[in-house]
Amino acid sequence: MEPLPDAAEHRAFFHEVREAHRRDGVAAALHVMAAGTAGGDDSPPPPRAAPPRAEDRTAANLPVFLEHVLTQFTAHLPDLDTLRARSDRLVLAAGRDSAGQLLRRPAEHLAQRTGARFAEFPGGHAGATQHPRDFAAALRRVLDAQR
């Protein structure tokens, strides 16, 4: 989020998510995050195709993610000069269904600022688990085009 012009607003939002986790637990934090990243839509996400063990592993890791990863990851500012210098080898991507959502904006913004290619993949933010075969085929096309 840090490369975005409104980064301070998003930094505050992700700190709010972490504080919701500290105060009220994982479910509360996920509710705050869903409401703020999906254009204000706090409806539950669509069912995912991830195997049950993968979902169990993800759920078990959520406290660590919310406490130690989320704010650091979203506050990272990549080296734009380095990305521009390598833009011919860089593809930024987002899920097709995430158009207009906060989590898509950094990829679009960085592609514009660096001259890198932008690609859309099937599904939303979790397209690789929502549509694994279609996602893999799209990824193969993107990688083949980069050769």
Assign 3-state DSSP to the chain and report helix, strand, coil percentages, each to 5: 65, 5, 30
Same domain for 61 and 95: no
Same domain for 43 and 16: yes
| Phi, psi dihedrals of residue 76, rounded to the nearest 5° | -70, 135
Q: Give me the number of domains the chain comprises.
A: 2
- Report the pLDDT value the prediction gives residue 48, as an integer from 0 to 100: 52
pLDDT tens for 123-133 read 998 899 889 99
Same domain for 60 and 34: yes
CB 114 within 8 A of CB 80: yes
Q: Is the pTM of this model over 0.85?
A: no
Give CA angle at 10 (125, 26), nearest 5°.
Answer: 65
Same domain for 28 and 87: no
Q: State which of 53, 74, 95 marks the end of a domain.
A: 74
Same domain for 63 and 16: yes
- Report the pLDDT value the prediction gives residue 58, as an integer from 0 to 100: 84
pLDDT tens for 101-147 read 999 999 999 999 999 999 999 999 889 988 999 999 999 999 999 87
User: Residue range 4-26: average pLDDT?
Assistant: 96
**Residue 95 neighbours by CB distance under 10 Å:** 22
Residue 27: give the domain boundaries: 7-74
Q: Is residue 1 part of a domain?
A: no
User: Residue range 51-65: average pLDDT?
Assistant: 85
- Report the pLDDT value the prediction gives residue 42, as an integer from 0 to 100: 40
Helix H or strand E segment including 62: helix 52-64
In which band, very low, low, confident or very high, does the pLDDT at 40 lie, cut at 50, 70 and 90?
Answer: very low
Same domain for 61 and 94: no
Same domain for 65 and 38: yes
* CA–CA gap between residue 98 and residue 105 (Å, rounded): 9
In which band, very low, low, confident or very high, does the pLDDT at 18 lie, cut at 50, 70 and 90?
Answer: very high
Same domain for 88 and 70: no
In which band, very low, low, confident or very high, does the pLDDT at 64 lie, cut at 50, 70 and 90?
Answer: very high
User: Residue range 42-62: average pLDDT?
Assistant: 68
Q: Give bridge partners of residue 118 from the DSSP assignment.
A: 92
Q: Is residue 2 part of a domain?
A: no
Same domain for 57 and 40: yes
Q: Is residue 110 part of a domain?
A: yes
Burial class (CB in 10 A: 0-12, 13-18, 19+), 88: exposed
